[in-house]
């Protein structure tokens, strides 16, 4: 068992997704973290930690989605994280998808805003992620997602 610090890529889109990702910071205490998100202004939220900018997108604009996927793909190739964690949305989905392909262990934390049902990317991520989480206990199922509390 290696004592090397693991490299975590924490990736999300902006707004509430980013705010929730930040609230998970204590979980990364024993790791080296790289944060990736869609607005440069968020850089100051993470102090001295490594920060990478990726293209934003949502599923209603296919061209932007492609650009987003490409930027995340390049990011994963460069960073080679051991672990990828995301709170959504589309950029985060690409993060866990490509991360998994490249051998990382990946975690999906569905946004707390999805209180009635899982997000679409959350449902898709459930097909392959290693830790699949919802923040609402009533949405947990036997085959996943699991509930382990929330960002509140």
Partner 1 sequence: MILVTVGTDLPFDRMVKIVDAWARERERCDVFAQIGEGGWKPEYIRYSEFLQPDDFKNYFKLASVVISHAGMGTILSALLHGKPILVMPKLAKLGEHRNEHQTATAIRMKEFGNVNVAFDELELRMWLDNLDQLAPSRQIDSFASQQLVEGIGTFIRQA
x/- string (CB under 8 A) for partner 1, residues 74-103?
A: --------xx-x------------------
CB of 43 to partner 1, least distance (A): 9
Q: Whose Cβ is closer to partner 1: residue 74's or residue 115's?
A: 115
Exposed, middle or buried, 33 (CB in 10 Å: 0-12/13-18/19+)?
buried
Q: How many CB atoms lie within 10 A of CB 101?
A: 12
Which tokens sit at 133? 């989480």
d(CA 18, CA 37): 7
The phi, psi pair for 27, rounded to 5°, reads -70, -15
Query: Could you say whether residue 55 binds partner 1 (CB under 8 A)?
Result: no
Query: Could you say whether residue 3 binds partner 1 (CB under 8 A)?
Result: no
- Residue in 6, 52, 67, 123 binding partner 1, rule: CB under 8 A: 6
Exposed, middle or buried, 85 (CB in 10 Å: 0-12/13-18/19+)?
buried
Residues that bind partner 1 (CB under 8 A): 6, 8, 14-20, 23-31, 39, 41-42, 44-45, 58, 60, 82-83, 85, 105, 107, 109, 111-116, 130-131, 133, 135, 148-152
């Amino acid at each position: 068992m290696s004592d090397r610090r693991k490299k975590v890529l924490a990736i999300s889109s902006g707004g509430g997704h980013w705010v929730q990702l930040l609230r998970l910071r204590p979980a990364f205490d024993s790791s080296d973290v790289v944060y990736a998100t869609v607005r440069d202004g968020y850089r100051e939220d993470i102090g001295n930690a490594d920060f990478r900018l990726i293209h934003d997108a949502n599923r209603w604009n296919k061209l932007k989605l492609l650009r987003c996927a490409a930027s995340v793909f390049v990011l994963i190739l460069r960073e080679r994280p051991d672990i990828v964690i995301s709170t959504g949305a589309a950029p985060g989905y690409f993060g866990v998808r490509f991360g998994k392909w490249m051998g990382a262990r990946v975690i999906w934390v569905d946004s707390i805003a999805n209180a009635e049902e899982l997000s679409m990317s959350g449902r898709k991520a459930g097909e392959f992620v290693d830790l699949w989480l919802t923040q609402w206990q009533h949405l947990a199922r036997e085959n996943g997602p699991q509930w382990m509390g929330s960002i509140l």
